[in-house]
Structure 1
Amino acid sequence: MLPPHVRGAAGASAGRPFSADTAAGHRAVRRCNHSRAEDGARLLKPLAMPTSTDTLLRQIRRAPLPAPSPARGLGLDDWALRKGRTYGSILVDLEAHCVRDVLPDRATPTVSAWLRQHPGVEVIARDRSTESARAAVVGAPEAQQVADRWHLLLNGRQKMERWMTSAHPRLRALPAVSSGDTPPARRHTSFSRAHARAESRSRHVAAYEAVRRRHLDGEPLLRISHTLPQWSRENRPIKVP
């Protein structure tokens, strides 16, 4: 009589009576592959199908990848196989947030051939490379080309740095601007926290005394509160002498 795991396979592993690779076992393993390998191994043990995490990982690698849907928004950029020496092209689905493919180089024929094989691209977000621009025109002429946000920020920062570098000597040559005859006082020591607390307390005490005088004159507190500055409305108790 055949063992239970062979009988459950409906003849799929009849030639290997002591094999645990049955059709039912494969289905159970594939269902558990959606979780982590350790969790999947724990789930299979109560089902009388003890499986190691390495076996689950091998099953995940053997499983065929699902057919991707056509990408409408595509990100095109270079990536380093060996930084500073060898670069390829990476294509990212901007809606699904996943990598669609990695190409061995950045040449126009390679990228344009990939775009022709994957029609339906409506928007291509790319860098300022002329190779990427030509590849997008040849491979997807109807797609709209836009500059991605990262490169816009990078180009803007580089432009500002170049302008500041060129304008710095001219800015230093400008005459000094003074508000009066006397030069502004310069602080040679750090502003201590105790001094800051003392100034804050003096402002709050002055506001308290002003509210007290106005209230004694008969003005309602609600009207007084509407005229106080924002910093004096904090619910911070102060001790007054």
Structure 2
Amino acid sequence: MCRRRTFAQRLAPFTARQQRRTARVQTTLWHVGLALSGATGARLAQRLGISISGETILRLLKRNSQKHVATTSNLTLVGVDDWAFKRGHRYGTLLVDLEQRRPLDRLPDRDATSVANWLTGNRAIRIVSRDRAGVDAEGITRSAPQAIQVADR
């Protein structure tokens, strides 16, 4: 019987079990991904000395998006924009808290009714930033007439 034992100390404050990156690098990549998204974020990460692909940055954002969702209390500035589940086939609506720069909700479609239903529960909203889509404008006007609409290009 062998009496030799191997001991390995876990680096709990720095990394989770079976993880390839430290918590600090994960946070950095998450912020890079939020600011620049996939391919552009991967290029910046390469310049910072972190080897990662654009798809991995997007997976990191999707996996950690639920941890960083903003609360809907005391909302005053909201951004409404469409995004693609599958480009050219299925689109949804993304709602963002512009003060905290955090996602609020993802709606499964690009419809005025779903935007109106979401905004109905939040009467404190004063300003809504949106693109020039008429669908978003109609939903905002219907449910939050007190809100100023700011349209971007």
1:146 alignment partner in structure 2: 150
What count of residue pairs does the alignment treat as equivalent?
101
TM-score, normalized by length of structure 1?
0.36
Amino acid at match of 2:81: D
Specify which of 103, 110, 131 is matched with residue 135 of structure 2: 131
* Identity percentage of aligned residues: 36
1:53 alignment partner in structure 2: 17
Q: Counterparts in 2 of 1:152-167, with a 5 A limit? A: none
Q: Counterparts in 2 of 1:199-214, with a 5 A limit? A: none
Q: How far off its partner does 1:120 sit? A: 1.0
1:74 alignment partner in structure 2: 78
Query: Post-superposition, which runs of at least 4 consecutive aligned residues in structure 1 deviate over 6 A?
Result: none
Amino acid at match of 2:119: L
Mark the structure with the bigger radius of gyration: 1
Higher RCO (Cα < 8 Å, 6 or more apart)? 2
Deviations 1:196-217 (A, max 9, x none): xxxxxxxxxxxxxxxxxxxxxx
Deviations 1:96-120 (A, max 9, x none): 0111111001111111000002221
TM-score, normalized by length of structure 2?
0.56
SS of alignment partner, residue 99 of structure 2: coil
Change (3 A) 1:52 1:72: closer
Higher strand content, 1 or 2: 2
Change (3 A) 1:141 1:67: same
Change (3 A) 1:147 1:85: same
**Residues of 2 paired with 1:97 and 1:135: CA distance?**
22
User: Structure 2: which 5+ runs fail to align?
Assistant: 1-9, 24-63
Q: How far off its partner does 1:42 sit? A: 3.8
Deviations 1:151-194 (A, max 9, x none): 1xxxxxxxxxxxxxxxxxxxxxxxxxxxxxxxxxxxxxxxxxxx
Deviations 1:132-155 (A, max 9, x none): 11000011111000113xx1xxxx
Pairwise CA RMSD: 3.3
**Residues of 2 paired with 1:52 and 1:131: CA distance?**
44
SS of alignment partner, residue 53 of structure 1: coil
Q: How far off its partner does 1:95 sit? A: 0.6
Q: Work out whether residues 77 and 91 of structure 1, in 8 Å CA contact, stay in contact via their aligned partners in 2.
A: yes
User: Structure 1: which 5+ runs fail to align?
Assistant: 1-37, 44-50, 152-241
1:102 alignment partner in structure 2: 106
2:94 alignment partner in structure 1: 90
Higher helix content, 1 or 2: 1
2:119 alignment partner in structure 1: 115
Q: Work out whether residues 124 and 146 of structure 1, in 8 Å CA contact, stay in contact via their aligned partners in 2.
A: yes
2:45 alignment partner in structure 1: none
